[in-house]
Amino acid sequence: MGWKGTLRSMEAASRRSERDAQRRRRELERQRKQLERMQGLERAAYEVEVYENHIDLLLSVHKECSDPWNWEAIKSAVPPAEPGKTHTHEELAQAALDGFKPSLADKMLKRVDSKRDELAKAVEEARETDEREYQESLKTHEQEYTDWEATCELASQVLLGDQEAYLDAIRQTDPFSDIAELGSSVKFQVHDRSLVEAVLYVRGEDVVPSEVKSLLKSSKLSVKQMPKSKFYALYQDYICGCVLRIARELFALLPVKMVIVNAVSELLNTQSGYMETKPILSVAIPRETLQNLNFEMIDPSDSMSNFVHRMAFGKTRGFHYSFR
Q: What pLDDT does residue 309 have?
A: 95
Q: Across the strands, what pairs with 284?
A: 260, 308
User: Which structural domain range is residue 277 located in?
Assistant: 3-78+161-319
Domain annotation covers residue 253: yes
Sequence-distant (≥ 6) Cβ neighbours of residue 273 within 8 angstroms: none
Q: What pLDDT is attached to residue 220?
A: 87
Give how many domains the chain has, as a whole number: 1
The model carries a pTM of 0.79
Q: Interior CA angle at 192 toward 186 and 196, to 5°?
A: 25
> In this structure, is residue 206 part of a structural domain?
yes
Do the Cβ atoms of 248 and 219 come closer than 8 Å? no
- Identify whether 18 is part of a domain: yes
3-state SS track over 258-291? EEEEEEEEEEEECCCCEEEEEEEEEEEEEHHHHH
Q: Is residue 134 part of a domain?
A: no
Is 105 domain-assigned? Answer: no
| 83 in any annotated domain | no
Please give the C-alpha separations between residue 182 and each of 57, 94, 99, 220, in angstroms, as whole numbers.
Answer: 11, 61, 66, 33
Position 224 in a domain: yes
User: Is 298 part of a structural domain of the chain?
Assistant: yes
Q: What pLDDT is attached to residue 100?
A: 79
pLDDT value for 178:
65
Average pLDDT by stretches of 10, the chain with 324 residues: 54 55 71 62 85 91 91 92 92 88 81 85 92 94 92 95 95 79 82 95 86 89 93 93 94 97 84 84 97 96 96 86 61
C-beta of residue 262 within 8 angstroms of C-beta of residue 183 = no
Quick one: pLDDT at residue 1?
47
